[in-house]
Amino acid sequence: MKKVIVKYKLKNHDDFEAKMNEVDVDFGSMYWQHDRVYVPKNYKREMNFPRLIMRTEMKAIDRPARYELILKRHIEDSGVDIVNETVVRDYVEAVNIIQQLGFKQVAEVSKKRRMASIGETKIYLDNVEGISGYYIKMEAPMKEGDKVESLMTDLTETLESIDDQNTRTEEPYFEISNK
């Protein structure tokens, strides 16, 4: 699936949530995600190389964890992210396959996340372990004929109309946390 993603570091988490509530956008319950990030040899983000992410997700302590394998490729020239996700039953076997394909683990990212939706657009409120503050991430799926620039503008304008005090970032969490 092709997505357009914008991410901002929030200046003030409480103010942002209050403003979101004013426009009737309510974030759901908090859940936990842990990502192990794998990249191919000679990985460079600007080269459009793919990343593989093994995600563990816990939505409730009385339910089993969910495991997903996510392939992400950010196409720098266009601003589009190509994202494929598949549920994994055997976590260890999936990691063995990733390593046998020549990918190496470069980071682990744990976050507490809350999600809201506006139509097909998903809004994530993230608190990432090892990184101070909160981040807001908006993802909109691309449909046939959609223009990247207009989707990106719509997402940016939507977020800035709610709270224009935040700082935009292009870096994935694993790069921010490794600084």
Both tokens of 106, joined, read: 């470069």
- pTM value is 0.88
pLDDT at 104 over 90: yes
| Structural domains for the chain | 2-177 (2.40.320.10)
Predicted confidence (pLDDT) per residue in 48-101, tens digit: 889 999 999 999 989 999 999 999 998 866 778 899 999 999 999 999 999 999
* Cβ atoms of 53 and 35 closer than 8 Å: yes
Predicted confidence (pLDDT) per residue in 162-177, tens digit: 878 888 888 889 888 6
CA torsion sign, 85 to 107 to 133 to 28? positive
With residue 6 as reference, give the H or E element that holds it.
strand 2-9
Alpha-carbon gap, residue 82 to 63, rounded angstroms = 30
160 torsion bin: left (phi>0), alpha (psi -120 to 50), beta (else): alpha
Predicted confidence (pLDDT) per residue in 88-103, tens digit: 999 999 999 999 999 9
Alpha-carbon gap, residue 90 to 18, rounded angstroms = 41
